[in-house]
Amino acid sequence: MVAEQYLSAFAIDADAFHVMAGSRDEALVRTALNVIVEQRDTGTLLRATDAAEVEPALREIVAGRLDPSRPAGYTWLLELLGRAAGDPLGSLVLPGRGWHALEDAFGAWGLPTLAGLWGRAWTFPWHAAAPDDDPWPFPMLASKADLDRIRDELGVFDTGRVHDEHDLLPDGDDDAENTAHLVGDLLPAWVDGARARGRELLLIRDGGR
């Protein structure tokens, strides 16, 4: 089977996510569990599909009893919380592995804010440093200031460079079309979607590492 990675985008209120830990928010737990039921037959949830596994992890968060040694941590819950407490903006299937390497490509193409976003894991649900600085799934949070800068960077970017400099991509020219679609179409739309809602942008990279 050919490996794939999945990129999902959500508009979220980052402040609301930051205070989930220790919030004792039973309504959030119920809403998140309801999302599992609603999405059961759609195939949109990759990991957070079993309420019996999800509920204990959610309750650790809202009770403020975060376990630094919990297997797989908590970032696998974000695809669920992004729907329960945010707005889904879209997704993209990226064939193969190695898409973390786009950080270097973005930097080489003069997209420094996007490069920084791509290589920086969000620490949710930890308020300071997370116990794992390279989690999987890999969540990325763009602040409102980041969104303004990324919008400006992408607004002047020539997507023809993706094809001309495909040697910067994980699998070279084979990845050029997907990358051009990402930076030319999807990321600008997701950035605008989050900005229009007055929210931050959460990106989650998952699938084959």
- Alpha-helical (H) ranges within the chain are 14-18, 26-39, 51-62, 78-84, 102-108, 112-119, 144-155, 160-164, 176-181, 187-196
Mean pLDDT of 32-39: 95
Looking only at Cα atoms, what is the longest distance across the chain?
A: 52
Residues 9-31: pLDDT tens digits? 999 999 999 999 999 999 999 99
Domain spans in the chain, listed from the N-terminal domain onward: 4-207
Taking a C-beta distance cutoff of 8 angstroms, is the pair 104, 168 a contact?
yes
**Could you tell me which of 137, 141, 153 has the C-alpha nearest to residue 7?**
137
So what's the pLDDT on residue 57?
97
Query: Does residue 1 have a pLDDT over 60?
Result: no
Residues 128-187: pLDDT tens digits? 888 888 999 999 999 999 999 999 999 999 999 999 999 999 899 999 999 999 999 999
- pTM, two decimal places: 0.95
Taking a C-beta distance cutoff of 8 angstroms, is the pair 176, 105 a contact?
no
Taking a C-beta distance cutoff of 8 angstroms, is the pair 9, 202 a contact?
yes
Q: How many CB atoms lie within 10 A of CB 199?
A: 21
